[in-house]
Amino acid sequence: MGRGSLAMAWYGLVSAMFFVYIGAALALAYGTADALIGLVLTIVVYGAVNRILSAYALRHGLTVHQFSRTLLGRAGALLATLIFAATAIYYAVFEGSILAFAFQAQFGGDLALWSAIVVLYTTPLVSGGIQRRLDKVNGLLLPLYWGGLAVAVVWAGTAYGVSGDWLSHTTAFLPVASGGPGWLACFAAYMGVWIMMMYTMDFAALGRPQDVAFHGRWTFGWLFYTLAFGLNAVVGIFLTFTIPGLQSTETGVAAGLVTMMGPLGLLLAFVSQTRINTANYALGASNLREVAERTLRIRLPRLVWAFITSAIIFALMLLPVVQYLLVALAWQGALVTGWVGIALTHLALGRATGRGADPAGLPDRRFRSISAPGVAAWLVSAAVGIGLIESGQPWGATWGALVTPVLAAAIYAGLRVTSRRSTALIETSASPEAATTASARP
């Protein structure tokens, strides 16, 4: 994809209503000042990590599955891909449910009917493949989204007045009992969305190596997260403290906008959720297809996988999935942050030893089934992280998220240094296949 097309496709993720909600929820829980400090740290870390991962994926054309074969082996890569697919599908369910609630708030009726409508209109947008649709759809809707948010802020300020409460809000948060200051808890909460690191690799793999500098600066770096996390969170905090009765819940922000603005609020919710769900549906379908083809040897057209994914999403939308968002985020955070820790450590070790990337086009048989350093580091760190999260201690959620990537990186580095194998690749002598594949991409 060209730099403009890839940038517009990626910026579909900038408009998730979840980003509006989570900023407001953290401000209510920990105070506005701590929420904003945690937000700044989040933007810095996300921008830095994703510049690294996107550059690697752009230069070598590696998706999450292809890169995970090097880190974890064939079987471990399939597990990573399955987690990626499940998470993308879960987000599609969550974001679609928000829009279904918005439709119901405006028109009434059965939620299942609106859920079906959301799935039916979204599926054709991604059924032609991620390259063909996302840049056009998101490019058209991007001005509508930011314009709609601006209208919502002005509308709320005009209708209900503007005070400094949204900036000065404090809570009775106890740092010692909770394992650290409020800003640290806010930073850890955003670690539940480190799935964005996997999203980054799959999108960047569609780009061109010569566009690394452009995408690092404008597409996958700090600018994107300043808009996605920073601006959306500030708007969410302002609206929550300005609109009377607006509930900072998973669906409350969208419902509040519809209640205040009527059809214009519904339009804003529609634009927001359509943009983010084009990415969720596309990545869910592509990774589900990857798993099925490699485990069950099922080969079906992209269109079929788009419909299969949409059917799964609709079935889950009929269940109370939204109620379990925070639990799902915590568990997902323990799994995905461990993978990110391993990935970054692998890149650092590769740079230190001068070892290049394993080519994207290598067949699975060239990789071992299990790469012990990667799998051990991932499983142990995830188990420790989930154990801390589920410990019942008030500090468990914060430190479970923080410890997991550090522990994963330490275990992986230790096992890699003491192991004779640098990756899961089965080395062969002067393989023509490897040479041909390696020369296919700079």
The pLDDT value recorded for residue 124 is 87
Overall average pLDDT of the 192-204 stretch: 93
What whole-number distance in Å separates Cα of residue 436 and Cα of residue 96? 44
Q: CB count, 10 Å around CB of 436?
A: 11
Between the alpha carbon of residue 256 and those of residues 108, 124, 169, 246, 249, the distances in Å are: 15, 29, 20, 5, 10
Q: Which amino acid is at 185?
A: A
Residue range 18-31, pLDDT digits in tens: 899 899 999 998 99
What whole-number distance in Å separates Cα of residue 245 and Cα of residue 252? 10
What whole-number distance in Å separates Cα of residue 19 and Cα of residue 190? 10
Q: What is the pTM of this model?
A: 0.87
Instruction: List, in sequence order, every residue forming a beta bridge with 77; answer none if it has no partner.
Output: none
User: What residues contact 319, with CB distance under 8 A and at least 6 apart?
Assistant: none
Pick 15 or 348 by higher pLDDT: 348
Cβ–Cβ under 8 Å, residues 130 and 9: yes
Overall average pLDDT of the 109-129 stretch: 88
Q: Is the pLDDT of residue 173 over 80?
A: no
- At 176, list the tokens: 């010692």
Q: Is the pLDDT of residue 387 over 90?
A: yes
DSSP 61-97: T--HHHHHHHHHHHHHHHHHHHHHHHHHHHHHHHHHH
What whole-number distance in Å separates Cα of residue 222 and Cα of residue 159? 34
User: What residues contact 26, with CB distance under 8 A and at least 6 apart?
Assistant: 34, 35, 38, 39, 186, 189, 233
Residue range 207-236, pLDDT digits in tens: 999 999 999 999 999 999 999 999 999 999
Q: Is the pLDDT of residue 255 over 80?
A: yes
Overall average pLDDT of the 155-178 stretch: 85
Residue range 285-314, pLDDT digits in tens: 999 999 998 888 888 888 899 999 999 999
The pLDDT value recorded for residue 435 is 40
The pLDDT value recorded for residue 134 is 61
The pLDDT value recorded for residue 250 is 65
What whole-number distance in Å separates Cα of residue 360 and Cα of residue 104? 45
HSE-up of residue 163 (Cα within 13 Å, Cβ side): 11
DSSP, collapsed to helix, strand or coil, labels residue 367 as: strand
Compute the mean pLDDT over every residue in the chain, rounded to the nearest whole number.
87
Helix, strand, coil percent content, the chain, rounded in steps of 5: 80, 0, 20
Instruction: List, in sequence order, every residue forming a beta bridge with 425; answer none if it has no partner.
Output: 367
Cβ–Cβ under 8 Å, residues 190 and 22: yes
Q: Is the pLDDT of residue 442 over 70?
A: no
Confidence of residue 322 (pLDDT cuts 50, 70, 90): low
Top mean-pLDDT range of 79-83, 240-244, 379-383, 433-437: 379-383
Considering the chain, what percentage of its residues have pLDDT values greater than 90? 54
Residue range 59-82, pLDDT digits in tens: 999 999 999 999 999 999 999 999
Q: Is the pLDDT of residue 144 over 70?
A: yes
Pick 422 or 140 by higher pLDDT: 140
Which region, left, alpha or beta, applies to residue 50 given φ > 0 means left and ψ of -120 to 50 means alpha?
Answer: alpha
HSE-up of residue 155 (Cα within 13 Å, Cβ side): 18
The pLDDT value recorded for residue 176 is 66
The pLDDT value recorded for residue 259 is 87
The pLDDT value recorded for residue 130 is 52
Overall average pLDDT of the 258-275 stretch: 90
DSSP, collapsed to helix, strand or coil, labels residue 425 as: strand
Cβ–Cβ under 8 Å, residues 247 and 256: yes
HSE-up of residue 126 (Cα within 13 Å, Cβ side): 30
Which region, left, alpha or beta, applies to residue 297 given φ > 0 means left and ψ of -120 to 50 means alpha?
Answer: left
Residue range 340-383, pLDDT digits in tens: 999 999 999 988 888 878 888 888 889 999 999 999 999 999 99
Cβ–Cβ under 8 Å, residues 142 and 310: no
- At 410, list the tokens: 């330490």
Between the alpha carbon of residue 193 and those of residues 137, 201, 332, 401, the distances in Å are: 24, 15, 8, 11
